[in-house]
């Protein structure tokens, strides 16, 4: 196994700066999603609230996030699920193309400006994973959409109100 391949296997998370260090020893996630012209780019993203405080899953926050994501077109948000203390979403590069990290910082700051509540704060970082094959999108979505059921917040995935899809992301 080459060093480049080993980094992807042990926690590259779609990053161009992947480390061969096992994920459990890392203190911060590795970032840097490479975008290739000949391969679709879809990223699975997890963003948490500061100290995992459960303030996120409300109708107001859902509306603010949808508005911010629609306006922040450097990345297009596909399917998403908002949980009380974190959210999962799938995104693909938009226009103008910006690094994922810059886009995440931007929409978190826009959300905070609109929310105007000092108690509603985000963790500084996020986790991202570049999907590598078409089946990854469906399997990750199955996991994400059932999060509210696993956390006993809903009986079925369909009844959880804080989820949706803004743009259809195609492999």
Q: Are 138 and 146 in contact (CB under 8 A)?
A: no
- Residue 149: give the domain boundaries: 31-165
- The CA distance from 146 to 143, in Å, is 6
- Pair 95, 109 in one domain: yes
- Pair 2, 77 in one domain: no
Asked if residue 171 belongs to a domain, the reply is no
Q: Are 68 and 30 in contact (CB under 8 A)?
A: no
Q: Are strands 43-48 and 86-93 parallel, antiparallel or unpaired?
A: antiparallel
* Residue 116, SS3 per DSSP: coil
Question: Please, what is the average pLDDT of the chain?
Answer: 84
pTM > 0.75: yes or no: yes
Q: Are 47 and 106 in contact (CB under 8 A)?
A: no
> What would the pLDDT profile of 11-31 be if each residue is shown by its tens digit?
333 333 333 444 455 454 455
- Pair 86, 72 in one domain: yes
- Pair 16, 37 in one domain: no
């Amino acid at each position: 196994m080459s060093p480049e391949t080993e980094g992807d296997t042990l926690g590259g998370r779609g990053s161009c700066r992947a480390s061969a260090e096992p994920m459990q020893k890392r203190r911060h996630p590795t970032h840097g999603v490479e975008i290739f012209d000949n391969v679709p780019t879809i990223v699975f993203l997890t963003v948490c609230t500061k100290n995992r405080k459960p303030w996120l899953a409300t109708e107001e926050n859902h509306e603010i996030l949808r508005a911010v994501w629609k306006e922040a077109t450097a990345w297009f948000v596909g399917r998403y699920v908002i949980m009380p203390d974190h959210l999962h979403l799938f995104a693909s590069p938009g226009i103008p193309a910006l690094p994922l990290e810059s886009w995440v910082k931007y929409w978190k700051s826009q959300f905070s400006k609109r929310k105007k509540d000092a108690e509603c704060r985000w963790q500084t970082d996020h986790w991202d994973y570049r999907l590598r094959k078409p089946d990854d999108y469906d399997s990750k979505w199955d996991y994400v959409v059932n999060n509210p059921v696993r956390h006993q917040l809903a009986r079925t995935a369909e009844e959880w109100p804080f989820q949706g899809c803004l743009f259809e992301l195609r492999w």
